[in-house]
Structure 1
Amino acid sequence: MKHGVNGVALTVFVVFFLLVTVLGFLAARWRRAENALHLDEWGLGGRSFGTWITWFLLGGDLYTAYTFVAVPAAVYAAGASGFFAVPYTILVYPMIFCFLPRLWSVARSRGYVTPSDFVRGRYGSRGLSLAVAVTGILATMPYIALQLVGIQAVLDVMGVGGGASTNWFVKDLPLLIAFAVLAAYTYSSGLRAPALIAFVKDALIYIVIAVAIIYIPIRLGGFQHIFHSASQAYAKVNPATGKPRGELVSSAKNQWAYATLALGSALALFMYPHSITATLSSRSRNVVRRNTTILPLYSVMLGLLAMLGFMAIADGVGKGVKGYNAQLAIPQLFSNMFPSWFAGLSFAAIGIGALVPAAIMSIAAANLFTRNVYKDFLRPNATPEQETRVSKLVSLVVKVGALVFVLTMDKTVAINFQLLGGIWILQTFPAIVAGLYTRWFHRWALLAGWLVGMAYGTWAAWTVASPTQAHFGGSSKLIPGIGQIGYIGLTAFVLNVAVAVVLTVAFKALGTPDGVDETAPSDYTAEGPRPAAREQLPPHGDELPPVPTGGH
């Protein structure tokens, strides 16, 4: 294991970091439109990205430090359960093939920038729209925090972050610098910055994976030795829990947890604001459909990356170190296995792989605040220029909020950052996805279901403890009435839907007024240009008179 500052690796890392920083600022002029101060331009890249740009952008958006650090770290720490991320990325694409083109079409037709815009227009409810917006912002912050943890892990292994320093400022200064640079070019260039940088990020990641999956097993004596070493390591008892460290193959008692994590994560992935923002930046409905068919190529990469957790065990990473931080396992493996120059290239891939999604996430959260809090409640007559300025400022605030999660939660199991966000964002699924197909649900019933799901999910996650953290120590808990451990997000989602269905029936039986649906059936299949409709919408959707509602 290498110690001290790895000068060569650090130099290569800094060179690539400077390259993407320059690209980030230059992106402000890339495909720049005349109305550059419009939120469509800053927050959605002018809705002009074609198939390949969208593919790289979505890949950069969805395959993050979660992929390169958190998933293989989960496999390193616990074994088979960490592979839940592979089936969930397989499950998600057939689902989004069905509903994402409809969301793109209605957003294009009506000028919607955020999923909350759609909810407000579909149900005529500012309250439900606000609930979806607040949930999106809240769920995004731990996801951004996960990206910062990934950058911090790379810096720690290179010897320039963390370490033994007890001074928090000295310890986190490199991370703060990276954070500041990210904030600066996001503010300047908007969605065009991560779209342009994503080309570099994906190229680096594929190079590193191709080399790692061939070169490292050769260095370690082959896959047979790797799996044998992992099996022996998982069989050892963890002193903190009194149970075996993990499993090479998932046992029957853990299959509910595995299945619910995979299904719940699949349902949640494209509810995240950044996933929808990247989708709405596409220039046509066909671009969206094509991307849902070619994005599974990334799932192959994810499966290979997960196996790096086994390789880290076979290499002896963290062996004998009490309380070893599993998030350092893969960067440390690269440092041990590769020559310094290629280790630096690998660290750059991880670091840039964290910067790209962090930028998109902060932009998406800022768009939610601007359109569905600031415009809907604080300044209904805000101009497009004012919206853009507010979004730019809020994108900075969101990053600061993510730092709170980094500083207050256990970073040794960073995958919980993403899973906690999934618990929350999954509660927006009924309002968004059901709304794309039917207007049967009552807006108040959906709001009540959301409230129940959020309350239960947050409470259940709060009560989960880990050996290092009293609260929010995990994302799985005993499922009421089943007696099996399962993903809290999926349990909360089932409660959410049940409440929404029961109350919808009750409200319809009582004749409770419903909101106005401003969309038309043709909006959901449209390919045409986006009209500037959003600015002319009545500012108080909840106050519109009810009209009969029917499914589209």
Structure 2
Amino acid sequence: ALFLYPHSITGVLASKNRNVIKRNMSALPAYSFLLGLLALLGYAAIASGVKPLPGATEGTVDSNTVVPLLFDMQFPAWFAGVAFAAIGIGALVPAAIMSIAAANLFTRNIYKEYLRKNASHADEARVSKITSLVVKIGAVACIVFLDPQFSIDLQLIGGVIILQTAPAVALGLFTRWLHRGALITGWVAGMSLSMWMLWQIPNPATKRAHFGGSAFPLSEFGFDTKRTIYVGFVTVLVNLLIAVIVTLILRATKTPAGIDGTTRDDYFADEGDPRIDRDLTAVETPSST
């Protein structure tokens, strides 16, 4: 689901050329391995006897404080300070990318599409900056006023929801065979099933009866087991299956698939392409358009 999020696409589109993306993708396994090493800090905290600080509500604890407390207990003050700064920077960078992506989505898909169709590039830039600031303030408000568990639940639910765009977005980069009506039908089916399955998942630890995670108990399907399955895996398969079936039906009935305005060259535009240079010039000098 990570690579389907808009902020991931923003990073790809902002790359200098395709070689930059290739280098980053080749280094991704090493990054994932380091994430696994970071997870081991939890075991180190247990071995060190670290106890998390109290949570926002009485009787709860804030697990986010475990690693900072571990650094504070086990390392000199100067090293702990560097580690705390790294944690802060590590949180700010993805947050900035997400807020920029949200601002771009609002500006291009709502502001320019419905509110001001003749907006100039300068207008778009100004609205994007304001929207990005609003998103940042909203994120801080969520941290201050909402239960931190809500953020975790929302992240798990969001991964399931964003996966439903895979047939239309990811497969759409490689094939035009799937009918647009079938893709919409599959998306509706996948989203509906996702919401139903997520609604059925409780979280005994937080005493939530619904939307308690993304691991669906197989016992709900009649299996005599305590095992679970990831909701996104099931629903995206249903989404794709329905998209394929409806595509076959629509093509058999000769339903128009619409016009695809892209060409093969659009997918291979890179640094030095005269079309890209022309577009960049237009953005840098809004008055010329």
User: Which residue of structure 1 aligns with residue 167 of structure 2?
Assistant: 430
User: Which residue of structure 2 aligns with residue 277 of structure 1?
Assistant: 10
Between 404-413 and 308-317, the greater mean CA deviation after superposition: 404-413
User: Which residue of structure 1 aligns with residue 27 of structure 2?
Assistant: 294
User: Which residue of structure 2 aligns with residue 379 of structure 1?
Assistant: 116
Q: Is the 8 A contact 1:325 1:412 kept in 2?
A: no
Distance 1:289 1:384 in 2: 30
Q: Is the 8 A contact 2:182 2:242 kept in 1?
A: yes
What letter matches 1:504 in structure 2? T
User: Which residue of structure 1 aligns with residue 287 of structure 2?
Assistant: none
Distance 2:52 2:104 in 1: 45
User: Which residue of structure 2 aligns with residue 472 of structure 1?
Assistant: 211
Three-state SS of the structure 1 residue aligned to 2:4 is coil
User: Which residue of structure 2 aligns with residue 452 of structure 1?
Assistant: 189
What letter matches 1:472 in structure 2? F
User: Which residue of structure 1 aligns with residue 87 of structure 2?
Assistant: 350
Name the count of aligned residue pairs.
267
Q: Is the 8 A contact 2:157 2:214 kept in 1?
A: yes
1:518 aligns with 2:261: yes
Q: Is the 8 A contact 1:448 1:500 kept in 2?
A: yes
1:485 aligns with 2:228: yes
Deviations 1:379-417 (A, max 9, x none): 332211121122112212333443565467652586444
Relative distance call for 1:526 and 1:279 in structure 2 (3 A) is: same
1:288 deviates by 1.3
Distance 2:53 2:121 in 1: 58
User: Which residue of structure 2 aligns with residue 507 of structure 1?
Assistant: 250
User: Which residue of structure 1 aligns with residue 102 of structure 2?
Assistant: 365
Q: Is the 8 A contact 1:312 1:330 kept in 2?
A: yes
Q: Is the 8 A contact 2:161 2:194 kept in 1?
A: yes
Between 342-351 and 397-406, the greater mean CA deviation after superposition: 397-406
Distance 1:427 1:463 in 2: 19
Three-state SS of the structure 1 residue aligned to 2:16 is coil
Deviations 1:425-451 (A, max 9, x none): 111111111111111111122122222
1:320 deviates by 12
Relative distance call for 1:510 and 1:399 in structure 2 (3 A) is: farther
Between 433-442 and 322-331, the greater mean CA deviation after superposition: 322-331
1:343 deviates by 1.4
1:526 deviates by 3.0
TM-score, length of structure 1 as denominator length: 0.45
List runs of 5+ in structure 2 lacking aligned partners: 283-289
1:511 deviates by 2.1
Distance 2:150 2:137 in 1: 21
Q: Is the 8 A contact 1:317 1:332 kept in 2?
A: yes
Aligned pairs for 1:24-423 (under 5 A) are: 268-318=1-51, 323-403=60-140, 406=143, 410-412=147-149, 415-423=152-160
Q: Is the 8 A contact 2:52 2:69 kept in 1?
A: no
1:273 deviates by 1.0
Deviations 1:152-196 (A, max 9, x none): xxxxxxxxxxxxxxxxxxxxxxxxxxxxxxxxxxxxxxxxxxxxx
Deviations 1:178-218 (A, max 9, x none): xxxxxxxxxxxxxxxxxxxxxxxxxxxxxxxxxxxxxxxxx
Distance 1:427 1:356 in 2: 26
Equivalent pairs: percent with the same residue?
50
Deviations 1:63-118 (A, max 9, x none): xxxxxxxxxxxxxxxxxxxxxxxxxxxxxxxxxxxxxxxxxxxxxxxxxxxxxxxx
Relative distance call for 1:437 and 1:315 in structure 2 (3 A) is: same
Relative distance call for 1:338 and 1:450 in structure 2 (3 A) is: same
Relative distance call for 1:444 and 1:407 in structure 2 (3 A) is: farther
What letter matches 1:359 in structure 2? A
The one of 513, 529, 532 equivalent to 2:279 is 532
Three-state SS of the structure 1 residue aligned to 2:197 is helix
Relative distance call for 1:474 and 1:406 in structure 2 (3 A) is: farther
Distance 2:34 2:4 in 1: 23
Relative distance call for 1:503 and 1:403 in structure 2 (3 A) is: farther
Relative distance call for 1:342 and 1:281 in structure 2 (3 A) is: same
Distance 1:400 1:457 in 2: 30
What letter matches 2:256 in structure 1? P
